[in-house]
Amino acid sequence: MNRVVSQLMLTAPDQLLRHTVLEISENGRVSQLISLNDMKSETAATIFRDGIISAGIVSLKLRAYDFQQMPDQFLYIDITNCIPEKIDLQNRILILDAHTENPTEFSLHLHKASNSLSDINVADIIAATCYMPALLCNFNNEIRPGNSINAIIWENCNLPDKKLTSNVSIANLY
């Protein structure tokens, strides 16, 4: 088992945890989430990372999603092609896709779209990349005990302002 803690952990589209250890097996199964607030000492063999931990990236294109079935409340943006200068959500839920689920490749496309995404909260960007596409594909990508996930780390984010930076990078957690 690996234990990792970071500054923030987005375990679901609307659940941002602080001071929490993610315990995960080598095959990606989450065994437990441990609150550091309740502990008197730090857990042994814990790796500390600087960034936001989330579940893995989900690409609707790669998963052959039927876009004609997409509910109207979603705004799908393909960041490999024409990226709008400004994104106006108009109370819709954002979905970002780069035709890849590889964090390194996704980072390259995210850099190109960073100006367009500058006004959007980083938690909403992560949800648009990892959790909302999974919801549309009918699988649970939440970080919770029993789930198998491909945990990733979002580094070089502006955490005080909860925004992306131009040098954000995404990598596998292990």
State how far the Cα of 82 lies from the Cα of 98, in Å rounded to an integer: 11
SS3 content of the chain, % helix, strand, coil (to 5): 20, 30, 50
C-alpha torsion angle, residues 18, 20, 23, 26 (rounded to 10): 30
Enter the pTM of the model: 0.93
Q: Where exactly does CATH 2.30.40.10 map onto the chain? A: 2-55+142-172
Residue 70 one-letter amino acid: M
Q: Report the CATH fold assignment for 2-55+142-172.
A: Urease, subunit C; domain 1 (2.30.40)
pLDDT at residue 166 in the model: 84
Selection from 156, 163, 162, 102 nearest residue 129 by Cα: 102
pLDDT at residue 43 in the model: 63
Question: Which residues does the chain have with pLDDT short of 50?
Answer: none
- Cβ–Cβ contacts within 10 Å for residue 102, how many? 16
Query: For residue range 69-118, what is the model confidence (pLDDT) as tens digits?
Result: 999 999 999 999 878 888 989 999 999 999 999 999 999 999 999 889 99
